[in-house]
Amino acid sequence: MGQLVLSFILSPVTWVGALVAGFGRVLRIRQERRLFGVGIDRHWTGLWAGLIGGVAVSLVLDGMLLAAGALLPQWVWLTVVGLNVVALLLSWFGFSPWFFALAGLVAFIPSAHLALGAWVGGFAVLVAGIWAATALLLHLLNPPIDIPKVVAGKRGAKVAVYRHRQWYWLPLVVPVPGTWFAAPSWWPTLGIGTHQFALLFVPLVIGAALMTKRQLPQAATLQWRWQYLGASVLALIIAGLTYWRPAAAGSAVAMLAVLGVIVGIGNWRATKLGAAAISQTSAGVRLVAVQPDTPASKMALQAGDIILTCNHLPVHNEAELYAALQTQPTYCRLKVMRLDGAIRLAETAIFKGAPHELGMITFAEEQA
């Protein structure tokens, strides 16, 4: 067990993932304080979601690999880990785990002289499992912690742009065949006949890092869930083909890579959807963000909502909203229009205060 923990600690994915996640959170809070004078969400919800969800999914993924007899050589795992580290370092430009499918092509080079069928089927199962885990985690554990940034639109109006970053840690325990573990005598090895294996702790990081302009990130990740779910089914079919016809392993590697690129393009296109920019409007008061555990969150308000009336009074700017709140300082009744144009009513008991004390962050609270 000590060796497994050591391999986890020494993994570059562990360190790079922790640095990226920690730096991203600090940057988000600083940006929110600079723009709006307050950290919108200072909770550690995203971290706990990433840890709990990742550990739970890794147990299932370990079982999938064991059931499929997936004994991936060390250079395959090194390729997977290496691509994961590169993707994390470039995650400011976006991150989605489609790239894992490319590891097969990279690992093909040092193993071209070997029987590809010995590991390609298991690799396809690994990719399918990672993609299925991504779909499941984005569905069940995807806290809406989005970074709003206010920029100038084409017509001079202020526009909100959103970044979303959610990571999941997968601490996989995998058997790796080969004799190279025999060199350090302190590393535990297993033997079946003439074959030797060693258990390694291989932590991977999956998740989502994206930016949207015409919709909230949650709408984009909804598309991602379906894309990864469908891709995982196709990857399992490719794995079955490889187990059925080992001679088709080379084609399977290429098909997986092409499938991964298609998923990546689909992810990118999903971030570009949306009807209109989330911009400042004279039709009401647009919310840029909603703080958790506040009256606004209890009313299920969302970033992008437009408050049309407050306490039965029409509001067109933040001053009118504040004045309407003062007419009933212990209660708030709102008429709200969602991004899709749907109208809903919301109400809650409140304490006397300004809109931002209710948890509603508007364009007016952007700092000069």
> If you search the block for the tokens 């909230």, which residue do you land on?
216
Domain that holds residue 75: 2-270
Q: Is residue 50 part of a domain?
A: yes
The reply to whether 213 and 263 lie within a common domain is: yes
pLDDT above 90 for 176: no
Alpha-carbon span 75 to 342, nearest angstrom: 53
| 142 CA to centre of own chain | 7
Distance CA 284, CA 339 (A): 13
232-266 pLDDT, tens per residue?
Answer: 999 999 998 888 888 888 888 889 999 999 999 99
CA atoms of 339 and 324, how far apart (whole Å):
23
Report CA-CA distances (Å) from 67 to 46, 126, 334: 31, 12, 54
Contact 159, 300 (CB under 8 A): no
Instruction: Clarify whether residues 130 and 219 are in a common domain.
Output: yes
Q: What CATH number corresponds to the domain at position 331?
A: 2.30.42.10
Closest CA to 146 of 268, 265, 271: 271
Q: Is residue 204 located within the same domain as residue 291?
A: no
> Is the pLDDT score of 289 beyond 90?
no
pLDDT at 368: 39
State which of 232, 250, 270 marks the end of a domain.
270
Report the C-alpha gap between 328 and 102 in whole angstroms.
59
Cβ neighbourhood burial of 96 (10 Å; 0-12, 13-18, 19+): buried
Flag whether 275 is in a domain: no
Band (3; pLDDT cuts 50, 70, 90): very low
Mind listing the pLDDT tens digit for each residue in 38-65?
667 777 777 788 888 988 998 899 888 8
Q: Are 135 and 86 members of one domain?
A: yes
Tokens of 249: 């392993």
Shared domain check, 291 and 207: no
Shared domain check, 318 and 253: no
Judgement on whether residues 77 and 203 belong to the same structural domain of the protein: yes
3-class secondary structure per residue, 17-65: HHHHHHHHHHHHHHHHHHHHCCCCCCCCHHHHHHHHHHHHHHHHHHHHH
Kindly report the average pLDDT of the chain as a whole number. 80
Give the count of domains, the chain.
Answer: 2
**108 located within any domain:** yes
Q: Answer yes or no: do 146 and 15 share one domain.
A: yes
Mean pLDDT of the 72-92 span: 87
Tell me what pLDDT residue 148 has: 81
| 326 and 208 share one domain | no
pLDDT (0 to 100) of residue 182: 44
Strands 343-349 and 313-314: unpaired
Return the top range by mean pLDDT from 106-110, 116-120, 223-227: 223-227
pLDDT of residue 351: 59
Whole-angstrom distance, CA of residue 109 vs CA of residue 257: 14
- Are both 265 and 157 inside the same structural domain? yes
Domain final residue, candidates 243, 270, 297: 270
256 and 333 in one domain? no
Please check whether residue 346 lies inside any domain of the structure: yes
Whether 306 is in a domain gets the answer yes
Q: How far apart are the first and last CA of the chain?
A: 55
Q: Secondary structure of 140-160 in the HEC alphabet?
A: HCCCCCEEEEEEECCCCCEEE
Per-residue pLDDT tens over the stretch 184-221:
444 455 544 445 666 777 889 999 999 988 888 888 99
67 assigned to some structural domain: yes
Is 266 within the bounds of a domain? yes
Quick check: 96 and 264 in contact, CB under 8 A? yes
Last residue of a domain, one of 270, 301, 321: 270
> Per-residue pLDDT tens for 302-312?
888 889 998 88
Q: Are 211 and 265 in contact (CB under 8 A)?
A: no
pLDDT at 352: 56
Domain-located, residue 343: yes
- Which tokens is 322 given? 């504040």
C-beta separation of 124 from 105 below 8 A? no
CA dist 212 and 22 (Å) reads 22
265 shares its domain with 303 = no
